[in-house]
Amino acid sequence: MFAEIITIGDEILIGQIVDTNSAWMAVELNKIGVKVKQITSISDDAEHIVNALDQAQQRADLILITGGLGPTKDDITKHTLAKYFNMPMRLDEVTLAHVKQFFEKLNRPMIESNVKQAEVPDGCTVIMNKNGTAPCMWFEHHGKIIVSMPGVPFEMKYLMEDQIIPRIKKAFQLPFIIHQTILTAGLGESFLAQQIEDIEESLPDHIKLAYLPKLGLVRLRLSASGFDELALQKEILIYTQKIVERVGQYVVLTEDVPFEKAIMNLMEENSLSLSVAESCTGGYLSHLFTQHPGSSTVFQGGAVTYSNELKQAVLGVKEETLLAFGAVSEQTANEMAKGAVNNFNTDYAIAITGIAGPGGGTAEKPVGTVWIAVANRNEVKAKVFQFANQRLQNIERSAMAALMMLFLKLKNDLKN
């Protein structure tokens, strides 16, 4: 079964925002066995919306529309849909009550355009948007389903997870899709593919293998689709075991959770605590951990020590070390990690110090040079990495390399 995603609004077309909604939706749709045939971004223009809708229905059975539902004049999606489906507008009392409550809670007065948020085409199913004032609308039309949602990411995501996905599952007879992820590190995509070529070739048609490389890691994903869930689970397990047997030394995880979350799970099971000392990653690694609910069980906190003064004051890095070896050095990384373990009183600590760029590089230590140290209460070890010129990419790669070092250290320590 095919779906199409249509995003409405100028923000994407002028490049002001990157369309992250569509990728998120595509992932969610894939999980329930719906393939996305096309993603289309168009402006708030009635004729263009109508054309996009016509064309999408030639390719797909399900059309998910986001955006253009705001209270201002340039938001014309709702009226265009009403006209398209030949439905008059009506005031939806449930939505109106919700909008009123919404403004009461914010302690703000309502104006005319806010009341209009409660108007809907008479004939669609109205789905309450508890995180905003624009309701979600579900249309059925000549055997096709068209859903209009707000474009605000957290409103759309809540609606998709809580309302739209369950309704799609009911509306279409969808196969089960089972995914199994194998996270690997240390071997490039093409070399991995070479090693498991025969396993890949032996896969039946309803099982696919995808290679998803990212920041030095390669995620292998097996996806099986079919109508017998139990049989699929057994089958996918067999192929997973075959791959793990073959390239086991490169396998990090066979869970489909973010790497940092898997590390925190492992540490929580073993009652271990963690802190970080970040220089060039500037808080990004801390954010990776703390974005997950419950992270405070493991993650105690840390320091973002951009300046040398803070490296000394907060982490106890010695002035002599900074003078003799510089802020980006094995010695400084080691002292930062040890300082974090001691000063923050945690079982483990990660320290990252490097030159994220674009400025600050030297011939000896070019942009992209990053020292990472991992310490436990007894020992510390650092490693140097040479990344590239892109600041944000260097920040992300440094964090990923640090996670890998911590993970390997943990696995080793817990084995003993």
Which residues in the 373-402 window bind a second copy by CB under 8 A? 388, 390-393, 395
58-117 residues in contact with a second copy (CB under 8 A) are 59, 70-74, 108, 111, 113-114
Tokens 């992250």 belong to which residue? 20
Location of structure tokens 């970080």: 276
Among 161, 296, 377, 408, binds a second copy (CB under 8 A): 296
Q: Restricting to residues 325-384, name those near a second copy by CB under 8 A.
A: 343-345, 356-359
Among 94, 212, 324, 408, binds a second copy (CB under 8 A): 212
**Could you give the CA distance from residue 276 to residue 302 in angstroms, rounded to a whole number?**
5
Q: Which helix (H) or strand (E) holds 267?
A: helix 259-269
Q: How big is the site for a second copy, counted in residues (CB under 8 A)? A: 100
Q: Which is nearer to a second copy, 71 or 226 (CB)?
A: 71
Measure the CA–CA gap between 79 and 85, rounded to whole angstroms. 10
* Tokens representing residue 68 in the block: 């253009």
Query: Minimum CB separation from a second copy for residue 242, in Å?
Result: 18
Closest to 29 in 3D by CA, of 39, 43, 41? 39
From 48-56, 84-92, 330-338, 377-385, give the range in contact with a second copy by CB under 8 A: 48-56
| Residue placing its CB nearer to a second copy in the complex, 90 or 221 | 221
Cβ–Cβ < 8 Å for 278, 286:
yes
Rg (CA), the chain: 26
Two structure tokens written together for 298: 């493991």
- The residue within the footprint of a second copy, chosen from 1, 46, 53, 55 (CB under 8 A), is 55
The whole-angstrom separation of Cα 140 and Cα 80 is 16
Contact region for a second copy (CB under 8 A) — 47-55, 88-96, 328-336, 373-381? 47-55
CA separation, residue 157 to residues 3, 28, 131, 154, 283 (Å): 17, 10, 10, 5, 26
189 touches a second copy (CB under 8 A): yes
Q: Of 134-142, 234-242, 294-302, 370-378, which part binds a second copy (CB under 8 A)?
A: 294-302
Pick out residues in 7-46 that bind a second copy (CB under 8 A).
Answer: 10-20, 22-28, 30, 35-43
CB 315 within 8 Å of CB 335: yes
Q: Which two tokens stand for residue 189?
A: 């995509």
Q: Which of these ranges, 78-86, 162-170, 183-191, 258-266, lies near a second copy under the rule CB under 8 A?
A: 183-191
Site for a second copy in 298-317 (CB under 8 A): 299-307, 309-310, 313-314
Query: Could you say which residues in the range 128-157 bind a second copy, by CB under 8 A?
Result: 131, 154
CB of 171 to a second copy, least distance (A): 21
| CB of 287 or CB of 377, closer to a second copy | 287
Tell me if the bond preceding 358 is cis, omega within 30° of 0: yes
258 counts as binding a second copy under rule CB under 8 A: no
Of residues 265-284, which lie at the interface with a second copy (CB under 8 A)? 275-276, 278, 281-284
Q: Please report whether residue 257 would count as binding a second copy according to CB under 8 A.
A: no
175 touches 225 (CB < 8 A): yes
Interface of this chain with a second copy, residues 226 to 245, rule: CB under 8 A: none
Q: Report if residue 225 touches a second copy, rule: CB under 8 A.
A: no
**Residue 224, C-beta contacts closer than 8 angstroms, at least 6 positions apart:** 177, 178, 206, 207, 208, 232, 235, 236
Closest CA to 63 of 21, 27, 34: 34
Instruction: Give the position of tokens 């402006």.
Output: 43
* For a second copy, the closer CB: 25 or 337: 25
